[in-house]
Amino acid sequence: MFFSEARARSRTWEASPSEHRMWVEVFKACDEDHKGYLSREDFKIAVVMLFGYKPSKIEVDSVMSSVNPNTSGILLEGFLNIVRKKKEAQRYRNEVRHIFTAFDTYYRGFLTLEDFKKAFRQVAPKLPERTILEVFREVDQDSDGHVSFRDFEYALNYGQKEA
């Protein structure tokens, strides 16, 4: 319940008018020749400007493979869709990180069974301890007694696909 609410909130997120304007301005700035689309290189620069990292070849290939071959690049609407999806994913990951950090009260970078018990007592006080143990064992993918952020994030994403 708690996790699915976080996921539902991130799905309904809308860009503010100022964010939308900024994305359009970045598109225009990267479309230096006023072609009406972003080339592969233009798109890389736009990602750096908006997200602060250079996208991998795989990421750029994935985006460019979805481009209409008649346009030679990413049109404004397509660009805005890509940015919106990336922002949604970024917001969701930040929410997952926030939840993980709330459970990791000792700031160790991993969760123990005791952390799970404490967290579940807060969000589902009547949940049997046996169920908490089962959840912990399932989330602890390498059975080392610790749930890393990666384990935690995977469990939340996997659980969303199952729901």
Give CA torsion, residues 41, 18, 88, 63, to 10 deg.
Answer: -20
Query: Does position 6 have pLDDT exceeding 50, yes or no?
Result: no
pLDDT of residue 162: 53
Query: Does position 1 have pLDDT exceeding 70, yes or no?
Result: no
Start-to-end CA distance of the chain, whole Å, equals 11
Please tell me whether residue 37 adopts helix, strand or coil conformation. Answer: strand
Which are the contacts of 43, defined by CB distance < 8 A and separation ≥ 6?
A: 30, 55, 60, 63, 64, 73, 74, 79
- With a pLDDT cut of 90, the percent of the chain lying above it is 71
What confidence tens digit (pLDDT) does each residue in 25-51 have?
Answer: 999 999 989 999 999 999 999 999 999
pLDDT band at 159 (very low <50, low <70, confident <90, very high): low
pLDDT of residue 140: 92
Between 72 and 112, the higher pLDDT residue:
112
- pTM of the model as a whole: 0.70
Quick one: three-class SS letters along 70-95?
CCCCEEHHHHHHHHHHHHHHHHHHHH
pLDDT band at 13 (very low <50, low <70, confident <90, very high): low
pLDDT of residue 9: 47
Cα(92)–Cα(13) distance, rounded to whole angstroms? 10
Q: Show the domains of the chain with their CATH numbers.
A: 17-87 (1.10.238.10), 104-159 (1.10.238.10)
The amino acid sitting at 27 is F
Please tell me whether residue 110 adopts helix, strand or coil conformation. Answer: strand
pLDDT of residue 72: 82
Q: How far is CA 157 from CA 15, 75, 105, 131, 136, in A?
A: 23, 30, 22, 20, 15
What confidence tens digit (pLDDT) does each residue in 49-102 have?
Answer: 999 999 999 999 999 998 877 778 999 999 999 999 999 999 999 999 999 999
pLDDT of residue 69: 79
